[in-house]
Structure 1
Amino acid sequence: MVDFTTNSSTAEQRALLALWAVPGLGPRALSALRAFTRGELTRLLACPVREWLGEAPVPMPVRRRLAEVPDLGLLAERVLERCAAVGMGVTFAGEMTYPARLAEVDDAPPLLFYRGEVGPPRRRVAMVGSRHPDQGFLPFARGFARQVAEGGVGVVSGAAAGVDRACHWGALDAGGETWAFLGSALDELDPAQAKLLPHFLARGGVFFSELPPGVRASTTTFPRRNRLISGASDAVLVLRAGADSGSLYTAEAGRLQGRPVLALPGDVLNEGAAGCNALIRDGHARACLSVQEVWRAVGIHPDKAVPPGEGSSWTELSVEARGAYQVLDRVPRSFDEVLAGSRLSPAVLSSALVELELSGLVIQHPGRLYEKV
């Protein structure tokens, strides 16, 4: 093992960012490098790449690309400069701007690039479907998504033409939150996505991508992006899908991630609905017949739903309330369990939980059981 010197946690993020920008260096190679550095990637910043590359446990294609990088610190700076040029942020797993549900997924990326303002925690549903649904379906999809968002539920999709984009517009119509996970870097948008982005930025939406600047969409990036759409959500709804629709990959990713999967049934003679009908027939999805079923699937009770824009924003919460929220989960926890996981006194914790309830971020069940929304 080469003798490296360690650095700060900020340096750890710079090292991670630089490595993630190397083509072909994915989660497996990153895990191997973590073991190589005894869990401290900052060790790789302390000296030129050529001094440790020979011992690094990475595949040969990655080794060749790393050989072209003189210094990880300089590479990280170049990536950050490209991000700044287009107003792109970088968020790391565990940070408030990184989708909390996605961080729970085994193959979640260690960081994401984003554009927009990431809002406070809430329940979210992935709403996906065909790029070319049957005639007249897109207005329905947009209206359905608007009703979902009116219940305070965030709408997550892929910004693709057709159903995905209609669902984004429906959420924006309601003044609700919507997230788009793209199959390209955020500085390589297609013309339609570039036109959509200003509307997102002006109305509270967010574009996300796991791909570093300069990476264009390809046949391999879209399937991997689908796991992010489902992973960042509490449930997956397929509104319209033919037998070969790409949205079925999102449904399968959601099923493997343990997310509830719903599908809108269609006419058995409608080939455009064959994928949805097959999901229901094979037991891979529940039939969705109303907006209320979507709300229930993500754990929202219609009579308790918080409309978008109401309640306190995340940044307005006290430090104690935000700390208590991090201890909570999507399963009810007793007051004593929350107390044991926090550093707050019983009195301060009680106040923090009341603040979270009033903000619509926490539900209290009978018996002083608290559940994160």
Structure 2
Amino acid sequence: MADTFAHTLTPEQRATLALWAVPGLGPKTLEALRAFAGGHLESLAARPVREWLAQAPMSPQVRKRLAMVTELGLVADRVLERCEASGMELAFAGGQAFPERLAGVPDAPPLLFYKGHVGPPRRRVAMVGSRHPDQGFLPFARTFARQVAEGGVGVVSGAAMGVDRACHWGAMDAGGETWAFLGSALDELDEPQARMLPSFLERGGVYFSELPPGVRASRSTFPRRNRLIAGASDAVLVLRAGVKSGALYTAEAGQAMGRPVLALPGDVRNEAAAGCNAWIRSGLARACLSVDEVWENVGARPVLAVPPGAGEPWRALSTEARGTYRVLDRVPRTFEEVLAGSQLSPATLTGALVELELSGLVIQHPGKLYERI
């Protein structure tokens, strides 16, 4: 757990973690406390809480909860123990694992809890929709998400039943990247989310939550979760939503952040699509009629590979390059991981990877990470 062990955290991160674990203490209060502490929360952690609590800027409810704490360091230790026990890692704002787009959003959390491997930067789209869409829509949503992911675009959603889950599965069908932001702590998953987690981890997905261990989902946690889905994405696409669908909260968050908001139009007689149609009619969302429009609005320029076994680019490849291509997928792999699966020598594998890059079938990310296009 690269970012979670106590000895890897700075004093400032430990203080941030401890305060973030206090129920009711949000980003604005945290920043007010940082200013109160002269710009460094670690100065509060260096003193007993009772010495500074009365003067600190916070609501009476938060002050009452903090009054039960003797030292912030003890709170940080307890949270870290629970993270380690349940396999969670921590991503602090500005760190490599923290979503880059989210870091610049007002009211962004100072840290996230996560499970999975956070890959290199890429374009991402939030794909959300109703928990109970009209009959027959979920296979379409899954196929649409797969096609989006085939262009190298990451799919972000909320792992809720219905459209959200269909989009996650569609991205995984393509071997693409998918992120799920949850409305509960990662040790309080509902049963379907828990069942889906192994597939997520195995196929390169990530579960995120801003909530510390032990916090269950509630009516108040889902709207705040929606701002994270929008904030981590370059655009928001609502595939199916009635006029009162919670998916529209994600669209509202995206609009407030200046993200392009798209909506899939539906039959005017279909109440399950009434929310999407209303947003399009009012000009709040752009009508999305194709996968190409998703790529365009997130700023992606996908280079789709010729399917193996067809076309001149594939036929021109060496046997070694073809074999290497089959080892790779849409989750970036290190040179060593590809080497272990290829049964080639390091020198031969290097040549095969160069051949694939020149053919436009593979991209190399910083750090010698290789990914199928």
State TM-score, norm by structure 2.
0.81
Change in CA separation of 1:137 and 1:313 when aligned onto 2, cut-off 3 Å = closer
Q: Which runs of 5+ in 2 are unaligned?
A: 1-7, 308-324, 336-356, 367-373
Which residue does 1:244 correspond to in 2?
244
Change in CA separation of 1:248 and 1:14 when aligned onto 2, cut-off 3 Å = same
Task: Name the CA distance, whole Å, in 2 between partners of 1:135 and 1:46.
Answer: 58
Task: Name the CA distance, whole Å, in 1 between partners of 2:15 and 2:103.
Answer: 19
Secondary structure of 1:237's partner?
strand
Change in CA separation of 1:312 and 1:236 when aligned onto 2, cut-off 3 Å = closer
One-letter amino acid of the structure 1 residue matched with residue 89 of structure 2 = G
Contact 1:180/1:208 (<8 A) preserved: yes
Task: Name the CA distance, whole Å, in 2 between partners of 1:169 and 1:9.
Answer: 34
Q: How far has the Cα of 1:306 moved from its partner?
A: 12
One-letter amino acid of the structure 2 residue matched with residue 200 of structure 1 = F
Q: How far has the Cα of 1:303 moved from its partner?
A: 3.6
Secondary structure of 1:207's partner?
strand
Q: How far has the Cα of 1:267 moved from its partner?
A: 0.2
Q: How far has the Cα of 1:359 moved from its partner?
A: 4.2
Contact 1:312/1:359 (<8 A) preserved: no
Secondary structure of 1:216's partner?
coil
Deviations 1:182-221 (A, max 9, x none): 0000000001111011110111000000000000000000
Which residue does 1:81 correspond to in 2?
81
Contact 2:93/2:111 (<8 A) preserved: yes
Secondary structure of 2:10's partner?
helix
Change in CA separation of 1:311 and 1:175 when aligned onto 2, cut-off 3 Å = closer
Deviations 1:47-91 (A, max 9, x none): 211121122121111111001111100100100100000110011
Calculate the aligned-residue CA RMSD, in Å. 2.4
Deviations 1:104-143 (A, max 9, x none): 1011111000000101110000000000000000000000
Task: Name the CA distance, whole Å, in 1 between partners of 2:298 and 2:305.
Answer: 11
Contact 2:149/2:155 (<8 A) preserved: yes
Which residue does 1:204 correspond to in 2?
204
Secondary structure of 2:57's partner?
coil
Change in CA separation of 1:301 and 1:196 when aligned onto 2, cut-off 3 Å = same
Which residue does 1:195 correspond to in 2?
195
Alignment of 1:1-373 (within 5 A): 10-303=10-303, 313=332, 359=363
One-letter amino acid of the structure 2 residue matched with residue 37 of structure 1 = A
Change in CA separation of 1:39 and 1:315 when aligned onto 2, cut-off 3 Å = farther
Contact 2:150/2:304 (<8 A) preserved: no
Change in CA separation of 1:312 and 1:59 when aligned onto 2, cut-off 3 Å = closer
Task: Name the CA distance, whole Å, in 1 between partners of 2:305 and 2:216.
Answer: 39
Contact 2:87/2:115 (<8 A) preserved: yes
Task: Name the CA distance, whole Å, in 2 between partners of 1:226 and 1:314.
Answer: 30
Secondary structure of 1:148's partner?
helix
Change in CA separation of 1:315 and 1:54 when aligned onto 2, cut-off 3 Å = farther
Contact 1:149/1:155 (<8 A) preserved: yes
Contact 2:93/2:110 (<8 A) preserved: yes
Task: Name the CA distance, whole Å, in 2 between partners of 1:28 and 1:144.
Answer: 38
Contact 2:125/2:156 (<8 A) preserved: yes
Which residue does 2:3 correspond to in 1?
none
Which residue does 2:348 correspond to in 1?
none
Secondary structure of 2:69's partner?
coil
Task: Name the CA distance, whole Å, in 2 between partners of 1:13 and 1:164.
Answer: 32
Q: Which runs of 5+ in 1 are unaligned?
A: 1-7, 317-353, 363-373
Secondary structure of 1:74's partner?
helix
Higher alpha-carbon deviation: 82-91 or 294-303 = 294-303
Task: Name the CA distance, whole Å, in 1 between partners of 2:333 and 2:150.
Answer: 19
One-letter amino acid of the structure 1 residue matched with residue 271 of structure 2 = E
Change in CA separation of 1:38 and 1:204 when aligned onto 2, cut-off 3 Å = same
Contact 1:119/1:314 (<8 A) preserved: no
One-letter amino acid of the structure 1 residue matched with residue 125 of structure 2 = V
State TM-score, norm by structure 1.
0.81
Q: How far has the Cα of 1:302 moved from its partner?
A: 3.4
Q: How far has the Cα of 1:305 moved from its partner?
A: 8.5
Task: Name the CA distance, whole Å, in 2 between partners of 1:306 and 1:59.
Answer: 59
Which residue does 2:340 correspond to in 1?
none
Contact 1:311/1:359 (<8 A) preserved: no
Which residue does 1:323 correspond to in 2?
none
Contact 2:177/2:330 (<8 A) preserved: no
Contact 1:123/1:154 (<8 A) preserved: yes
Task: Name the CA distance, whole Å, in 2 between partners of 1:269 and 1:194.
Answer: 36
Change in CA separation of 1:36 and 1:305 when aligned onto 2, cut-off 3 Å = farther
One-letter amino acid of the structure 2 residue matched with residue 295 of structure 1 = W
Contact 1:109/1:210 (<8 A) preserved: yes
Task: Name the CA distance, whole Å, in 1 between partners of 2:157 and 2:250.
Answer: 10
Q: After TM superposition, where is structure 1 displaced by more than 4 Å over at least 4 residues in a row?
A: 304-316, 357-362
Task: Name the CA distance, whole Å, in 2 between partners of 1:28 and 1:146.
Answer: 38
Contact 1:235/1:259 (<8 A) preserved: yes
Change in CA separation of 1:305 and 1:23 when aligned onto 2, cut-off 3 Å = farther
Secondary structure of 2:109's partner?
coil
